Structure 1
Amino acid sequence: MTTIIAFILMFGLLVFVHEFGHFIFAKRAGMLVREFAIGFGPKVFSFKNNETLYTIRLLPLGGYVRVAGEDPEIIDLKAGQHIGLEFNDEGDVNKIIVNNKSKHPNAHVIEIEKADLDHALAITGYEVDEEEKLHFKVDPKAVFVMDETETQIAPYDRQFASKTVSQRAMQLFAGPMMNFILTIVIFILLGFMQGIPADNALIGDVQEDSPAAEAGFQKGDEIVQIEGTPISKWEEFQQTVQNNPENELSMTVNRNNEMIELNVIPRRLETQDMVIGQVGVQIALEKSFIKAVPYSFEQTYMWAKLILVNLGKLVTGQFSIDMLSGPVGIYDATDQIVQTGFMNFLSWTAALSVNLGIINLLPLPALDGGRLLFVGLEAVRGKPIDPHKEGVVHFIGFALLMLLMIVVTWNDIQRLFL
């Protein structure tokens, strides 16, 4: 149960922060945000506030912010169509009844001649069986009523396409950007609560029954020399130990300003592809908010670099698709990490956040990076790509991504249960 709760909270946080980036910059640009969704598929929970429907959906495969104009509008008024109109106190149309007009006896029923809800915000038509042409002004926040469900109209100045290239690019980039910011914030918290690694080769904890414990190492010892070679950084100490499994090493340590000579034989440790030495010590941690800030940027950069290197290996064939993990694999990894403590869980959340940001910036259809690519092409060409062609590309891309998700999830299930 602990793992389930932790996974739901982690998933919800990552997706919420990502989509909130899209949401807030869409609002700042004046776009109409129709829906803010966590998950895909059938709605589990929903409520509406002002113009936006907020939903939690069944499938934990991501989320989305649906902005007017990004996809074709569901309702399109045609000449000859019969509709009902209701009006506000100023006499402007505030409800357009598309069907079930009998449920709205006070609606003014007309036959449409022309409807422009993008620019002019006007409807021209005739009363049924009458020849007199009527003109109606439409409120910018008027709603369609179809199957008794209200959908706000989207004048062109509220649509995605009406905004400048920079506003659209920022709205698309904001999701991944918020994931990077979340990663930095989490690592700052970790650095402040748990501490950050010391600058020098300073020992924190010494494991019981380890080579270091048997050799007499203590918490607070600073490694200053190994075999006569000066040591100033933990990485130098670590590298020397790893390169000398089962070889005795003479070390000089500074203990309370007293130099002490200790001899230790690193234990042999076999990993999947190498043999390394290990003495059983951990680096000392120091709590400092000032140092935690640069530490968080360093950790974010380190994880981003690692993810990009692995993506490069995937593209060049050094990694196979079988090595990828989907929701099932991430849940299993989360289960193992939760058991090691809250701090490790926080670090795992930060790593997944930067991973989500980078993956979404890949120039693939349906991802933020793919949409940014189209905006960039528009900036270069001086005119937008045909919206219908772009929509087809993103639809195909989304279908392929869902297919990849199914394959990866099946691989996870086989790896874990079969």
Structure 2
Amino acid sequence: MMLIQTVLAFLVVLGTLVVVHELGHYLAARWCGVKVLRFSVGMGRIVWSRRFGRDQTEWALSALPLGGYVKMLDAREQDLSKIAPADLAREFTRQSVWRRIIIVAAGPLANFLLAILVFAGLYMYGIPEPTARLRAAPAHSAAAQAGVQAGDLVTRVNGQAVDSWSTLRWKMIDLAVDREVARIEVMRADPQRPGASRTEELRLRTDMLSVADLEGDFLGKLGLDLARPAAVLGRIGADGPAERAGLRSGDAITAIDGRPVADAVAFVESVRAAPGRALTLTGLRQGQPFTLSVTPAPVSKDGKTFGRIQAEVPMAPEMAVSSSGPIKALGQAVVKTWDTSTLTLRMLGKMLVGEVSWKNITGPITIADYAGQTARIGIISFLSYIAFISISLGVMNLLPIPVLDGGLLLYYSVEVLTGRPVSERFGELAQRAGIGILMTLMMVAMFNDIVRLIS
């Protein structure tokens, strides 16, 4: 079932992005007066088609579901000798350079517009997200050196407001890519005034991160982690180690073997690290202290052994839901799309100079995997993923690589500056080089996908 769900989610993502991208080209071509012969979702052999409209445009589904295309009346691809004179003026290459620029640019712009509309809708609806409240930083980490304390609530990074954990992560990776110092404003309890809080600014270095660190949990490498609730037990499994030891639902664990337990995550980690070894638990039960001993049962999985006491320990972080009005949501969506696009370009630039690993390039297998994962999480995560992939598709298509939209825009920009089109010979050589570049990128992406799948 998971495989079927992953495949269906991937087809929805891919189909949506391809249709939106090609629809941008199609609508722009129609607006500029160019005749469209075919609109295809998919590449290769046509498996289904129908003709509609005054121009009898062929709407088709093709065999290979990786991409799509809009086929226009084009002298470079069709024999115009049998074309009606009325249609000759609607041929693509006879349009002004500005019209050709509009038609080519409309595809990537449609992807950006889709992302903006999706993000705006999510901001209006309200996205439940963890707040940017922090756990105690591990000793000797960059966060500990900066002075991060348990319970700190991040409100700003380098003067920009932070309203959720995802916003914090986004702003931190933006700084980490350039190895800049993060000026983090936090709200923390004021020890001088019980119940009150105060604002402090911390300076956290990101230059200690390596290129490999940016590929995974880079916030964890800096020592930043989500605050978690106290270790309070939930449902107790029947006849498990916890029940036999006398533990009950609602028990708050404060120490293990005399060492304080910071939160639910710390408690679970301590239990998992002690298979078959008796642990002395200290805690509170209905406000009264208690001490008892429990021995986690050893459980083996994937060649590793860990301890388990069969007791639920809720670890959900503090959540917040905020929704915006239409105008504010649209502004937030535009900013999000712009920031994502510029970060994507900067990451690509860092890859070219070796400052970021090429392992970050992903292909259809990883995209399908993430599509399935986000679909299982919920509609909000799935829509967010579609928006992010739409931005990536828009950015990639604008790269100045021949055979991509960005390569054609580069040609037309040269034509605007020089007053004459790029020569056919140069165009052919550039197209071959572009195909070579794309094939290389596809091979790298597929290799990375396979490595991720195996590991």
TM-score band by shorter chain is 0.5 to 0.7
- Pairwise CA distance, 1:318: 1.9
The one-letter amino acid of 1:64's match is: Y
Contact 2:128 2:320 in 1 (8 A): no
Q: Residues 259, 162 of structure 1: CA spacing in aligned structure 2 closer, same or farther, 3 A cutoff?
A: farther
The one-letter amino acid of 1:397's match is: G
With 363-372 and 375-384 compared, the bigger mean Cα shift is at 375-384
- For the residue of structure 2 that corresponds to 1:365, the secondary structure is coil
- Pairwise CA distance, 1:407: 3.8
Alignment of 1:251 with 2:288, yes or no, is: no
Alignment of 1:71 with 2:6, yes or no, is: no
Residue equivalent to 2:226: 278
Give every structure 1 segment of 4 or more consecutive aligned residues whose post-TM-superposition deviation is greater than 4 Å.
Answer: 203-207, 229-234, 236-239, 269-272
Alignment of 1:191 with 2:194, yes or no, is: no
Deviations 1:4-48 (Å, cap 9, x if unpaired)? 222211111111111111111111222122221222222232222
Report the structure number with the largest CA radius of gyration: 1
- For the residue of structure 1 that corresponds to 2:386, the secondary structure is helix
Deviations 1:325-382 (Å, cap 9, x if unpaired)? 0111111121222222110111111111111111111111000010011111111121
Residue equivalent to 1:172: 104
- For the residue of structure 2 that corresponds to 1:273, the secondary structure is helix
Q: Distance in 1 between matches of 2:155 and 2:90?
A: 59
Residue equivalent to 1:394: 431
Q: Distance in 2 between matches of 1:319 and 1:231?
A: 27
By relative contact order (CA 8 Å, sep 6+), the higher-ranking structure is 2
Alignment of 1:334 with 2:371, yes or no, is: yes
Q: Distance in 2 between matches of 1:37 and 1:169?
A: 21
Alignment of 1:51 with 2:89, yes or no, is: no
Contact 1:195 1:288 in 2 (8 A): no
Q: Distance in 1 between matches of 2:224 and 2:131?
A: 21
Q: Distance in 2 between matches of 1:395 and 1:295?
A: 41
Q: Residues 282, 384 of structure 1: CA spacing in aligned structure 2 closer, same or farther, 3 A cutoff?
A: same
- For the residue of structure 1 that corresponds to 2:355, the secondary structure is coil
Q: Distance in 2 between matches of 1:401 and 1:270?
A: 29
Deviations 1:371-409 (Å, cap 9, x if unpaired)? 011111111121112335424532442354134324422
The one-letter amino acid of 2:123's match is: G
Q: Residues 417, 54 of structure 1: CA spacing in aligned structure 2 closer, same or farther, 3 A cutoff?
A: farther
Alignment of 1:40 with 2:43, yes or no, is: yes
- Pairwise CA distance, 1:159: 1.5
Q: Distance in 1 between matches of 2:384 and 2:24?
A: 22
Q: Residues 40, 279 of structure 1: CA spacing in aligned structure 2 closer, same or farther, 3 A cutoff?
A: same
Residue equivalent to 2:25: 22
Q: Distance in 2 between matches of 1:270 and 1:358?
A: 24
Residue equivalent to 1:126: none
Q: Percent identity?
A: 29
Residue equivalent to 2:303: none
The one-letter amino acid of 1:251's match is: A
Q: Residues 310, 230 of structure 1: CA spacing in aligned structure 2 closer, same or farther, 3 A cutoff?
A: closer
Alignment of 1:384 with 2:421, yes or no, is: yes
What is the root-mean-square deviation of aligned Cα atoms in Å? Answer: 3.7
With 381-390 and 181-190 compared, the bigger mean Cα shift is at 381-390
- For the residue of structure 2 that corresponds to 1:260, the secondary structure is coil
Q: Distance in 2 between matches of 1:20 and 1:230?
A: 44
Contact 1:196 1:287 in 2 (8 A): no
- For the residue of structure 2 that corresponds to 1:63, the secondary structure is strand
Residue equivalent to 2:66: 61
Determine which of 319, 342, 352 is the counterpart of 2:356: 319
Q: Residues 332, 251 of structure 1: CA spacing in aligned structure 2 closer, same or farther, 3 A cutoff?
A: same
Contact 1:184 1:296 in 2 (8 A): yes
Instruction: Give 1 or 2: higher strand fraction.
Output: 1
- Pairwise CA distance, 1:2: 2.6
- For the residue of structure 2 that corresponds to 1:62, the secondary structure is strand
Q: Residues 398, 39 of structure 1: CA spacing in aligned structure 2 closer, same or farther, 3 A cutoff?
A: farther
Residue equivalent to 2:162: 235
Q: Residues 306, 231 of structure 1: CA spacing in aligned structure 2 closer, same or farther, 3 A cutoff?
A: closer
Q: Residues 360, 230 of structure 1: CA spacing in aligned structure 2 closer, same or farther, 3 A cutoff?
A: closer
Q: Distance in 2 between matches of 1:336 and 1:64?
A: 28
The one-letter amino acid of 2:162's match is: E
Deviations 1:57-112 (Å, cap 9, x if unpaired)? 22232211122226332x57xxxxxxxxxxxxxxxxxxxxxxxxxxxxxxxxxxxx
Q: Residues 259, 339 of structure 1: CA spacing in aligned structure 2 closer, same or farther, 3 A cutoff?
A: farther
Q: Residues 404, 181 of structure 1: CA spacing in aligned structure 2 closer, same or farther, 3 A cutoff?
A: same
Q: Distance in 2 between matches of 1:308 and 1:381?
A: 28
Residue equivalent to 2:95: 163
- Pairwise CA distance, 1:250: 5.0
Residue equivalent to 1:6: 9
Residue equivalent to 2:142: none
- For the residue of structure 2 that corresponds to 1:158, the secondary structure is coil
Q: Residues 44, 260 of structure 1: CA spacing in aligned structure 2 closer, same or farther, 3 A cutoff?
A: farther
- Pairwise CA distance, 1:259: 8.2
Q: Distance in 2 between matches of 1:387 and 1:205?
A: 55
